[in-house]
Homo-oligomer: A and B are copies of this chain.
């Protein structure tokens, strides 16, 4: 067959992205495959490789989409929180999204782009938003404007929460007997905020 013009280039791209996203959510990174995506959208493998340069590019696009949904989820949680304990809300939202979409969330970190391949600038920017949210909330919690120290602390606290989340989803924390990983992550964040508040 040749050009079917059932869908334009862009339509096809977002169709495959959407279906790829669904597949990733269902089967996870490990069982994700280009052929399955192609079959689901009703095109052949060749067409998929025509639209996406490589499978890594498709996975990366899916992951960026997940990242966007994740940060949006956290922003909305913050919006609903108002003046309440926004740090707790943020940490909880971090976990909630991951636990509600384990396959999608884990795929972000399971996927390592091959050496030589670089992330497009727009995708990189999309992913930087998480850091920005953290910076804003920590600045607010400490009642101090964002400066270098806040930026460094924000990154580090994201890593702290991430560590708890990643081990919780992998089952390691449960196996060690920890049943409230979110509470523990929040404890650690509070510890550091307390120290930062005193030392200011």
Binding site for B on A (CB under 8 A): 30, 109-110, 112, 124, 128, 131, 151-152, 155-157, 159-164, 166-167, 170, 173, 175-178, 181, 184-185, 187-188, 191-192, 194-196
Contact among B160, B176, B177 for A188, CB-based, below 8 A: B160
Pair A152/B178 contact, Cβ less than 8 Å? yes
Which B residue's beta carbon lies closest to that of A151? B177
Complex CA–CA separation, A144 to B178 (angstroms): 21
Residues of chain B within 8 A of A109, CB atoms compared: 166, 170
What does DSSP make chain A's interface, helix, strand, loop or mixed?
A: helix
Q: How far is the CB of A173 from chain B (nearest CB, A)?
A: 7
Residues of chain B within 8 A of A151, CB atoms compared: 177
Which B residue's beta carbon lies closest to that of A154? B176
Q: How far is the CB of A113 from chain B (nearest CB, A)?
A: 9
Given contacts A184-B155, A184-B159, contact A112 B178 (CB under 8 A): no
Pair B163/A159 contact, Cβ less than 8 Å? yes
Q: Pull 9 A–B residue pairs with CB atoms less than 8 Å apart, ordered by A.
A: A156-B164, A156-B178, A159-B160, A159-B163, A159-B164, A162-B166, A166-B166, A187-B192, A195-B195
Pair B162/A167 contact, Cβ less than 8 Å? yes
Q: Which 8 A-B pairs have the closest CB atoms?
A: A163-B163, A156-B184, A191-B192, A159-B163, A191-B195, A162-B163, A159-B164, A160-B160
Which B residue's beta carbon lies closest to that of A119? B175
Residues of chain B within 8 A of A188, CB atoms compared: 156-157, 160, 188, 191-192
